[in-house]
Every structure is written in structure tokens, then in C-alpha cells.
Structure 1
Amino acid sequence: MERKTKRTTPSRMANQRAHYDDQQIYDILDEALFCTISYAENNEPFSIPQSFVRVGNYVYLHGSVGSHLMRMLSDGRSVCITVMLADELVIAKTAFHHSVNYRSVVIFAKGELLESQEEKYEAFKALTEKMVPNSWDYLKPMSKKEVDKTTGIRFSLEEASAKIRQGDPGHEEDEMDLPIWTGLIPIKPLRQKPVPDSHGAKIDLPEHLK
């Protein structure tokens, strides 16, 4: 299946903002910590936020074996997964031209259940290292029992597209001389200093968290 399909082609400004190459899509997915996964059940829509990780040409989700969401996703139904990174508020001379500089990815796929212990283990390791880099070897090793209690599902990136808006606000000719400030307001999230709980307060902060 080609990435550029009717479903992955934006209805507006597709030529300027849509991207289908691996690197654009991978970079956005690797930076984002969370996605939203949408699916239908009994003709009702559901849309659930979830942590995820990309490995190769797949995104991986995990959850408890008792999770209703995991059971729904593991039956091979079609889903839509979305990610958005908001970079800047775009401030124009009129509210009509206000916008947002963003990078987003939309994925259409069907879930594939991870069957082997090794594949589940590697997916959990990849997700842990994404959320807290260099932490896997520091933590207590994940046991077989813990792996067995967790469901892993992967989704192919074969039908996916990125949409990106970057740059300054747009203006109409008759607005150019108006004494109204225009520009960009950065809104990127930042990781801040870790805050220990009552147990962590007794232990020196490890290097990977500094």
C-alpha cells in the first residue's frame, strides 16, 4: 500500500504541507511522546490518548492484558492514529489570519498483536528508553511475569502522512500598514527538573535524569 492515499491526502494545501517521506514522518513520531488512537465499536466513536514508540516502520502501543482498549485494538480493526507537535502560535494583524506552526502525522492501520516474549520485551524497552532516555539498564529488570501481563500491539506506517505548517503569519495588502504587532509565540514543551517522591528523596539523582 502506498502512503499517499485518499485518506492520507489533506483536503486543503496538500501540495504545500503534506509530506510522505520516511524521515519527515519518523522525526515527528520520534519527538512526540503521546498519540491519539481512534476506532469504532458498535457504531460508536472512541478516541484514546496513549504513549507510543516508533521502531522501524511501525508504531507500538502497550497496555494491560485486561485493558478493554488493548482487546479492541488487537482484533485487527481499522484505526486512525494521530500525533501533533505544536511549535508556535502565529500572530497576525487579524484574528482571521492567526494560525499555529505545527508538525503532525496521521496513520491508518490495523493492529498486529505481538506474540513472542522477545518482541514484546524489545518494544517495552524501546518505549521506556523513549520516555526516559538511558533508564532501561538502571531499572530493575522486567520479569517474564510482567511481560506476560502486558499486551503489545504494532501498527504499520505504510499508510501515513505528515502535515507541517511553519513560517510567519499571512497578511492582506490592506493590512500591511496597520500598527498591530505580528510574529510568533513559541510554545514548545520542556522537560523540567525531576521531583522525587518520599522514596526517591533518599537516593541521589542518577546521571540519566540530570
Structure 2
Amino acid sequence: MTDTKNSKHSAKETFQITETNKIRVAKRADYDKDTLFAILDEGLIAEVGFVLENKPIVLPMVYGRVGDQLYIHGAKAARMFKQLKEGLPICLNVTLVDGLVVGRSAFHHSMNFRSANIHGTARLVEDEKEKYDALVAITDHLAPGRWDETRETTQKEINATSVIAVTIEQAASKIRTGMPIDDEADYDLDHWAGIVPISTSFGPAINDSRLKQGIPLAESIRKLTSRR
């Protein structure tokens, strides 16, 4: 099985800063690859943006990562995948919201967040091994180890699925932490200000109504729902 969490580097690696990936507020910019990969590995949904028939489209999609390759998948008949496989430019965003930042004025309300912003070119995965490894990566991204707990995928299912690879060509992380930054004169006002933390958690698993009696909770799901 392909390891999807392979972001270790012998030395710190960064993405080159370009007009495309440059973050306007420099103090919130991070071009370190490990930082970006950590956000991707923690996130669940990527907002995928591209232009189709001269119209901008953004779709939420599950994804998987293998090194500097991101993979998304869908039905082979879907119009989007017919277009993406032709090598269209694409951008993806994965954002983790860590808290609401509440200022003394509405103007200074914000959020603490970590976001990965990626630009690349979509490529149809035609190599059978790469396609298989990509489907493993996407499945295990949602629940690590889940692929090995499911029945074997049929060739018919694989043939009905398109997998698109996106090489991370340009990227940057944008991160905000800390308290609200109010106007200096506002700190003496009698208005509450601070942070409301936000965290993602998984609730107790619910058995399918048609689950056979005596089948225990899958190990991948047990680990997922026991995270704190």
C-alpha cells in the first residue's frame, strides 16, 4: 500500500514565490512544503476550481496525497472529468478553521485558520498501478487503513472511475493565529473580545441498518472516532 503521509524531507524545502502564489499579507504566508503537506493531511475536503466552457466552477471534493501529487476521483461520465483530463489548469484550496476571532468592532472580526492554496495542471491517470494507488490514497485519507478493511474493488468499478492527478506546481500556506487586532483606542471600550475555538471531531459511529449481527466496528473507524 502506498504511504500517503510521506512529507518528510532531509532539509527544509520551500515553494518558489511567484506572482501566482504570493500571499499579500507576508506575516500570514508560509511557503514551507511540510507546513502545506500537514494542512493537506489534516483536511478532508478540497475546493477545486477550474474554468469549464468559459465559466468558473468550484467543487468540493475528497482527495488523497502521495508526495507532491494530489488525486481526486469521480464518475468517468462526469463532464468535469472529461474536461480535466485534457490538461486544464486547476487550483485547489483546503482550509482548516481553528477559531472565530471576535473584535471590539465588527470591522476587526476575523478567523484563525490554516489554508493550503495550490496551483497545478490536471492530468488523467491512465497507468493502472498509479490509478490503484491513488484510489487507496483517497480512501485512506478519509479513514487511515480503511482500504484494507473493504472488499476487493472490482475491475468494473475501477473502469467506471476517473482519477485526476494534480502535481503541486505552485503553492503557499496562509495562516492566521492569535487574538483580534483592534484599534488602539478601542482597548478601553466595554465590549467583549477574544477567541472562540473551533475543532473538528468525529462522533460515535452509527451502524448501517442492514449491517449483519455480530460485526464489530472497523479498526480504522474506531481509531477515527476515538481521536481527541
Bin for the TM-score computed over the shorter chain: over 0.9
* From 79, 101, 115, the counterpart of 2:112: 101
Q: Tell me if structure 2 keeps the 8 A contact 1:92–1:98.
A: yes
* From 23, 26, 31, the counterpart of 2:34: 23
Residue 184 in structure 1 maps to residue 195 in structure 2: yes
Greater RCO structure (CA 8 Å; 6+ sep): 1
Q: 2: CA distance between counterparts of 1:45 and 1:206?
A: 40
Q: 2: CA distance between counterparts of 1:87 and 1:200?
A: 36
Q: 2: CA distance between counterparts of 1:201 and 1:144?
A: 26
Post-superposition offset of 1:109: 1.1
Q: Secondary structure of 1:121's partner?
A: helix
Post-superposition offset of 1:159: 0.6
The equivalent of 1:120 in structure 2 is 131
**1:61-94: CA deviations, max 9, x gaps?**
1111111111111110111211111110001111
Q: 1: CA distance between counterparts of 2:164 and 2:220?
A: 28
The equivalent of 2:145 in structure 1 is 134
The equivalent of 1:158 in structure 2 is 169
Q: TM-score, normalised by structure 1?
A: 0.93
The equivalent of 1:168 in structure 2 is 179
Q: 2: CA distance between counterparts of 1:44 and 1:105?
A: 24
Q: 1: CA distance between counterparts of 2:18 and 2:198?
A: 32
Identity of aligned residues (%): 34
Q: Which amino acid aligns with 1:141?
A: E
Instruction: Single out whichever of 193-202 and 57-66 deviates more from structure 2.
Output: 193-202
Q: Which amino acid aligns with 1:8?
A: N
Post-superposition offset of 1:3: 3.5
Residue 197 in structure 1 maps to residue 208 in structure 2: yes
**Residue segments in structure 2 that go unaligned for 5+ positions in a row:** 1-14, 223-228
Q: Tell me if structure 2 keeps the 8 A contact 1:60–1:123.
A: yes
Residue 50 in structure 1 maps to residue 61 in structure 2: yes
* Matched residue count: 207
C-alpha RMSD of matched pairs (Å): 1.4
Q: Tell me if structure 2 keeps the 8 A contact 1:25–1:162.
A: yes
Q: 2: CA distance between counterparts of 1:79 and 1:87?
A: 26
The equivalent of 1:208 in structure 2 is 220
Q: Tell me if structure 2 keeps the 8 A contact 1:3–1:158.
A: no
Q: Secondary structure of 1:151's partner?
A: strand
Q: 2: CA distance between counterparts of 1:80 and 1:207?
A: 34
The equivalent of 1:6 in structure 2 is 19
Q: Which amino acid aligns with 2:17?
A: K
Q: Which amino acid aligns with 2:20?
A: R
**1:6-62: CA deviations, max 9, x gaps?**
011123x1x201111111110111111111111112221111111111110111111
Q: 1: CA distance between counterparts of 2:41 and 2:31?
A: 16
Q: Which amino acid aligns with 1:139?
A: T
Instruction: Single out whichever of 50-59 and 39-48 deviates more from structure 2.
Output: 39-48
Following TM superposition, where does structure 1 have runs of at least 4 consecutive aligned residues deviating by more than 3 angstroms?
Answer: none
Q: 2: CA distance between counterparts of 1:207 and 1:79?
A: 35
